[in-house]
Amino acid sequence: MTASTTAAARARTGGPEDDGPKVLEHIAGWTLVVVIAMLVTQLGLL
């Protein structure tokens, strides 16, 4: 087996897809940042 066939035969481990919706990931990430920032300021931790 060559390196390319070995990599192709490997099972997926549930990691992020390379061709996924990048815009949705960015929106979800920034939403999480904003929610955490609001929580921190509401609790007076900053």
Please report the pLDDT score of residue 34 as a whole number: 97
Q: What is the pLDDT of residue 17?
A: 63
CA distance 46 to 18: 37
d(CA 17, CA 12): 10
Q: How would you write the chain as a 3-class SS string?
A: CCHHHHHHHCCCCCCCCCCCCHHHHHHHHHHHHHHHHHHHHHHCCC
Check whether 13 has a pLDDT greater than 90. Answer: no
Q: Residue 42 — φ and ψ, nearest 5°?
A: -65, -35
